[in-house]
């Protein structure tokens, strides 16, 4: 099946720093989403981005589908950005849209 790899697995930042998280996937996809899992366990939608670039405040994401990777940029990080960031994809030939998740990047932002 499709493989999703995220890097780095862990990241520690000082408040105000910028970061880039990466997601590589092994096959063509028709859906790519970024989620933030907060310390309470909630999975929060950040981006639906099967291709192209999107921005939402301090966060932006870029997916290059032809090269099978996506990047999530976090600028001017805040302590509330702490948590685990997941990339998830569904295959182009998949019926139904089930998501395959990467193992996540655990981000800790220190004050």
Partner 1 sequence: DSGVTQTPKHLITATGQRVTLRCSPRSGDLSVYWYQQSLDQGLQFLIQYYNGEERAKGNILERFSAQQFPDLHSELNLSSLELGDSALYFCASSVVHRGGTEAFFGQGTRLTVV
- Residue 85 interacting with partner 1 (CB under 8 A): no
- Residue 35 interacting with partner 1 (CB under 8 A): yes
**Among residues 18, 20, 79, 103, the one that binds partner 1 under rule CB under 8 A:** 103
Residues of this chain, 42-61, that bind partner 1 according to CB under 8 A? 42-45, 48, 50
DSSP 43-109: EEEEEE-SSEEEEETTEEEEEEGGGTEEEEEE-S--GGG-EEEEEEEEETT-SS---EE---EEEEE
Contact set with partner 1 (CB under 8 A): 30-31, 33, 35, 41-45, 48, 50, 86, 88, 90, 94-101, 103-104
């Amino acid at each position: 099946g499709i493989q999703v790899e995220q890097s780095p697995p862990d990241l520690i930042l000082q408040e105000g720093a910028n970061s880039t998280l990466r997601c590589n996937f092994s096959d063509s996809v028709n859906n790519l989403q970024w989620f933030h899992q907060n310390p309470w366990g909630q999975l929060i939608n950040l981006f639906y981005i099967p291709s192209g670039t999107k921005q939402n405040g301090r966060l932006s994401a870029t997916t290059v589908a032809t090269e099978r990777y996506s990047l999530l940029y976090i600028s001017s990080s805040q302590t509330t950005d702490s948590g685990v960031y997941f990339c998830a994809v569904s295959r182009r030939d998949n019926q139904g849209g089930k998501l395959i998740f990467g193992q996540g990047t655990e981000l800790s932002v220190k004050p």
